[in-house]
Amino acid sequence: MVTIGIVGAGLRGRLFAEALKEQPDVTVVGFAEPSAKVAEDARAATGLPVTGSHPELLEAFDPDAVIVATPDFAHRQIAVDVAESGKHLLIEKPVATTLDDAHAIAAAVHHAGVRCLVGFENRWNPHVVQAKTAMASLGRPITASATLSNSFFVPTTMLSWAAQSSPAWFLMPHTLDLVLWLTGRKPVSVSAVGSRGVLARRGIDTWDVVHALVAFDDGSTATLSSAWTLPDAGDGIVDFRFQVIGTEGSVTADLSHQGLTVVSDKYRSAWPVSGRIGRSQVGPAVWMVQNFAAGLVDGGDLGPDIDHGVLVTQIICAIEDSISTGQTVQLTTPTD
Ligand SMILES: NC(=O)c1ccc[n+]([C@@H]2O[C@H](COP(=O)([O-])OP(=O)(O)OC[C@H]3O[C@@H](n4cnc5c(N)ncnc54)[C@H](O)[C@@H]3O)[C@@H](O)[C@H]2O)c1
């Protein structure tokens, strides 16, 4: 039996608890959550105990593994303490929002020798998995593009901490991971531009839109775009599209329109692969956390590791640098 504690009882923490409810040989022992209101809701919804902090969670339940599902900027202390106490980790993306934090987490994970999955859930997204299989028939990747944007709802209503994140930190970990995984290329430089002002006027002082151009060591390229300013009256809260063009063909996905349209007070596309189907909870994040738990039980592969998570944080730091300096930023690796 593997026991798992969850730090952060918000949207993701609760989803993970639900996803693991019927997981064989796995028990979720409880949450750590500092907000009294969120803690009370989580207790009522799941029946699980909730402690006020991650040290209390570790002390009370001594779990085998911990899921870090706190806001983007609040992963470091928790992940380092958890790793140092010898527990395995699932850390939500982005690993951290500074390179210093990301390196500190990676150092703790490596030093303790614990297992660590970073929550790049698209590795369990059926469209992305099929695209990965299709890459074998596309020849050499020439260029890739990916758009992942949200409607205003996400920064203004869903996330209480949006001003401390951005479309780059919240969304681009997914598209960067996607492009790196599909193409298998090594990124060498980043140029980026962004615009701000619209969200700032609504009291959320962060980027409205970020565009990034990534160059790879073989001369291939990728463009990434993320906005937090789609109209709320539009298709839905997520717009997600990607394409890879290779020397022998291309693969293209539009996950914003998955063939299910709902019209009531407004038009919207719905995500058929989410929620419950029969007895099963479904969706990429569900399959990701179930794979994590199963891998802890049987020793199988967990998925993208801490070093990949650090690379993604490094690229997003470079995107921020490029926006502020107007210069192309070279990416260095310890082996360069
Ligand atoms: N919401 C999504 O669709 C989504 C998707 C993929 C990944 N993520 C990532 O998951 C993480 C969590 O996002 P969320 O949407 O669940 O946020 P959320 O705001 O719904 O939940 C985060 C919870 O963490 C709690 N928290 C803050 N500091 C804490 C601490 N030190 N110890 C314990 N709890 C603490 C907050 O009180 C809050 O209840 C983020 O890194 C986010 O980028 C979110």
What are the boundaries of each domain within the chain?
2-121+284-304, 123-273+312-330
Q: What is the pLDDT of residues 206-221, one digit of tens each?
A: 999 999 999 999 999 9
Strands 249-254 and 261-263: unpaired
pLDDT for the residue numbered 298: 98
Superfamily of domain 123-273+312-330: Dihydrodipicolinate Reductase; domain 2 (3.30.360.10)
Q: Which residues line ligand 1 (CB under 6 A)?
A: 7-13, 32-35, 38, 54, 69-72, 74, 78, 92-93, 119, 159-160, 170
**pLDDT above 80 (res 272):** no
For residue 77, the ligand 1 atom closest to its alpha carbon is 31
Ligand 1 atom 4, closest CA: 12
Q: What is the pLDDT of residues 273-330, one digit of tens each?
A: 888 999 889 999 999 999 999 999 999 999 999 999 999 999 999 999 999 999 999 9
pLDDT for the residue numbered 268: 72
Q: Is the full-model pTM beyond 0.75?
A: yes
Q: What is the pLDDT of residues 132-183, one digit of tens each?
A: 999 999 999 999 999 999 999 999 999 999 999 999 999 999 999 999 999 9
pLDDT for the residue numbered 334: 59
Return the higher-pLDDT residue of 150 and 256: 150
Give the ranges where 69-187 is alpha helix by DSSP (H).
76-84, 99-112, 126-134, 153, 167-170, 172-183
Which residue has tokens 């923490």?
Answer: 13
pLDDT for the residue numbered 242: 98
Which tokens sit at 185? 């290329």
Q: Tell me the CA–centroid distance for residue 14 and ligand 1, in Å.
A: 10
Q: Which of 76, 239, 69 lies closest to 159 in space, CA to CA?
A: 69
Q: What is the pLDDT of residues 168-180, one digit of tens each?
A: 999 999 999 999 9
Question: What's the CATH number for 2-121+284-304?
Answer: 3.40.50.720
Split at pLDDT 50, 70, 90, the class of 336 is: low
DSSP lists the bridge partners of residue 263 as 267
Asked whether the CA dihedral 280, 284, 290, 294 is positive or negative, the reply is positive
Cβ contacts of 100 within 8 Å, gap of 6 or more: none
With beta carbons less than 8 A apart as the criterion, state whether 124 and 287 touch.
yes
pLDDT for the residue numbered 263: 81
Residue 60 gets the label, from left (phi > 0), alpha (psi -120 to 50) or beta, of alpha
